[in-house]
Each structure stands twice: as structure tokens, then as C-alpha cells.
Amino acid sequence: MKAKDLHNMTDVELNNRLSELKSELFNLRFRLASGQLENPVSIRTCKRDIARVNTEIRARELKA
């Protein structure tokens, strides 16, 4: 996910995306613990996407 894509989203879409990413991270961690995760890098990617969304949400809070 690019930061440019996040700039075009509304606040509701950002919050929905954040909840989706958090549930995805939970599922990835669960699959890692059970040994079914093929690509461990996907956990890092998901964490970075969460950070990008949080950064955009915070930037909008500071702007307002």
C-alpha cells in the first residue's frame, strides 16, 4: 500500500482499513505460530501498512 493511496481515502475508509489490517496481522501471527505461514515477510509488510494508516490518521487529527 502506498501513502499516496491513503491520502485519497476518507476517515471512515481509513478506520475500516486499519481494522482489516489488524485482523490480518492477527491471522498471520496465528499461522506463523502454527507453522503454516509460507512468507514471514508478510508480517513485516502488514505492520508497516498499519503504521502508514496510523500516520495518516494522526496527520489528519493534527491538521484539524
- pLDDT tens for each residue of 13-46: 999 999 999 999 999 999 999 999 999 999 999 9
Q: Decide: helix, strand or coil at residue 2.
A: coil
Contact by Cβ (8 Å): 6, 14: yes
Domain that holds residue 33: 3-63
Q: In this structure, is the dihedral angle defined by the CA atoms of residues 25, 27, 32 and 33, taken in order, positive or negative? A: positive
- Looking at residue 3, what is its pLDDT? 85
Q: What is the pTM (predicted TM-score) of this model?
A: 0.92
Burial 24-41, CB ≥16 within 10 A → b, else e: bbeebeeeeeeeebeeee
In the structure, what pLDDT confidence band is assigned to residue 62 with cuts at 50, 70 and 90? Answer: very high
In the structure, what pLDDT confidence band is assigned to residue 1 with cuts at 50, 70 and 90? Answer: confident
Q: Which CATH number covers residue 59? A: 1.10.287.310
- What is the number of domains present in the chain? 1
